[in-house]
A = this chain, B = another copy of it.
Amino acid sequence: MDAALLTPDRAKGDVDALARLAKADMAAVDALIIDRMQSQVPVIPLLAEHIVSAGGKRLRPLITVAAARAAQMKAGDADMAAPLKLAAAVEFIHTATLLHDDVVDGSERRRGKVAAHLIWGSATSVLVGDFLFARAFELMVETGTMRALGILAQASSVIAQGEVLQLTRAHDLNLDQETYLRIVSAKTAELFAAAAEAGAVGAGADEVVVVALRNYGLNLGLAFQLADDALDYGGSSEALGKNAGDDFREGKVTLPLLFAVARTRGREDAFWDRTINKGQRLDDDFRRARELIIGTGAVSATLDAAGAYADAAKAALSVLPKSDWRAALESLADFAVSRAA
């Protein structure tokens, strides 16, 4: 993507500072994940390992760990027992939704590998998703923190509702921006918010810190999702971790598309109606959609919106004591948007 599309004074940020700080904690989370995905039914750990070990950045459990550390600062290992289990539970919930999503969308790839349902079948993918979801709750019960359980149970029901809403509205050009943001908040940002909030609660943080970290997570999740949406038209496949153009090829309505449709009203209506509403897409259509979306400034406007959410995420942290953890969380918010540059 053209770097000039980015507001020039946007900070770069990175995820590495946080990953370095959290290295020992995340090793403990990984050990928990491996331990709790075991089962005497042989196919379960096989399938679970396929998707869990592909792993990605483990962003959500990383946020739970960082929230707990940033909230209590001088935590000894004993104080991290609950947050570490909650972090593993967050990753299990996320993995369960990925397994179900891939069945629902018929996706062929996930985390750079063949999607699990294409290897073991949709039935097994659905049931192993259920298993991981149940295991997430078993882990939470072990922490004895009812409030954290409530946070993640509610997040799970919000996510499922967001998925259904997306399923019924995703190919609808009449989707308004408010409904689009409602979908994104529910299906993506809610788990970031719950991951941060649960980490704070698990660490026994003060109420003002709990609220701040939930707020941070919600805005961070929105920033990540909007930057992803922009990358799908403006970025390279490497930066995205999936193929650029997938959203368009699936006829999925996202914010850059909505901006471009509004900005080309009266002259490109037939193109959008054919490719999105009617789902009749030709080989060359993505190139044209990309031109329209970048040319009308829709990618840039989406990144501006993402940047505003990243700023809100950083601002939410101001009530926390200054620490390396807080700085790393701030840098992560910048990274959410700058990786799309």
Contacts and interface: CB of A to CB of B under 8 A. Distances in A.
B164 A127 contact: yes
Interface in A156-173: 156-157, 159-161, 163-165, 167-168
B104 A161 contact: no
A44 B161 contact: yes
A320 interface: no
Interface residues of A, number: 43
B133 A130 contact: yes
Contacts of A73: none
Given A41-B168, A161-B41, A164-B41, A156 B127 contact: no
Contacts of A40: 161
A176 interface: no
Contacts of A134: 153-154, 156-157, 159-160
Q: How many copies does the complex hold?
A: 2
A103 interface: yes
**A104, A130, A167 interface centre (most CB from chain B within 10 Å):** A130
A234 B149 CA distance: 46
B41 A124 contact: no
A146 B150 CA distance: 11
A335 to B, nearest CB: 30
A127 B167 contact: yes
Interface of A: prevailing SS: helix
A108 interface: no
B131 A164 contact: yes
Contacts of A123: 103-105, 167
A135 interface: yes
A39 B149 contact: no
A335 B85 CA distance: 44
A72 B96 CA distance: 38
Interface stretch (A136-144, A206-214, A299-307): A136-144
Contacts of A128: 160, 164
Given A100-B127, A128-B164, A130-B133, 10 more contacts: A41-B161, A41-B164, A103-B122, A103-B123, A104-B123, A122-B122, A127-B163, A131-B160, A133-B133, A146-B146
Nearest 6 CB-CB pairings of A with B: A134-B157, A134-B156, A131-B160, A137-B153, A104-B123, A141-B150
